[in-house]
Amino acid sequence: MEPGFWHERWHKQQIGFHQQDINPFLVKYWSTLALRGNEQVFVPLCGKSLDMCYLAEKGHDLLGCELSELAVRQFFEENGLEYQQNAFGELQAFSSEQMTLLQGDLFALKAEQLASVGAFYDRAALIAWPEEMRLQYAAKLATLLPRGCCGLLVTLEYPQDMLKGPPFSVTQEWIREHMSQWFEVTLLEQADVLADNPRFIAKEVPWLNESAYLLKRK
């Protein structure tokens, strides 16, 4: 998707992808990463997700990346957090005690800037991209993350011809075909979540599955 698409969505507050609650798979499966608890966690396309607050409460420092400056500022304001703004390479860093959100193009990040990252969490990034850009994103994520870094990936799967993304449908087959070259992939769970997503029901999408994967950078 072009940057203008996302800027417009945030400007108009057309942010159905923003969850009002912490993702259940995050609560259920974060412990499977077997982390010490103080690792820095990278959250690509983080928006203003409350999932970052959950991870901070677990003792992690958060390094998010988000294109929309409006989303970044809303995250700090809505959570009552004071922040400082500084340049971070080609991006801008908005930082509080445990949170640093990088505002700008994820593809402008360099691996050395994420050298201290020990884990990652992707609920809204992979499913935000159409096919060609999804491949580019997966390759970029792999180049950014240190070897041995593990993470939790959450995806959606549904009949793509029934609804125009984003979010886009990403199948288990796609994950294994296109991400296993960089990551060890373990499917943790797949659950039917259609009843919890009125937008999909309104569009008469017949089924909607949410999947959680454990990924480890090879």
Sorted by where each starts, the structural domains of the chain and their CATH numbers stand as 1-11+20-31+39-215 (3.40.50.150)
Q: What is the pLDDT of residues 71-80, one digit of tens each?
A: 999 999 999 9
The band of 6, judged by pLDDT with boundaries at 50, 70 and 90, is: very low
C-alpha–C-alpha distance, residues 113 and 179, integer Å: 22
Interval 24-62: pLDDT, tens: 999 999 999 999 889 999 999 999 999 999 999 999 999
Residue 155: Cβ-neighbour burial (10 angstroms; 0-12, 13-18, 19+): buried
Q: Is 10 annotated as a binding residue?
A: yes
Element (H, E) at 142: helix 131-144
**45 labelled binding-site residue:** yes
Question: For residues 110 and 181, what is the distance between their CA atoms, to the nearest angstrom?
Answer: 20
Q: 11-25, 109-123, 201-215: which has the minimum mean pLDDT?
A: 11-25
102 is in an annotated binding site: no
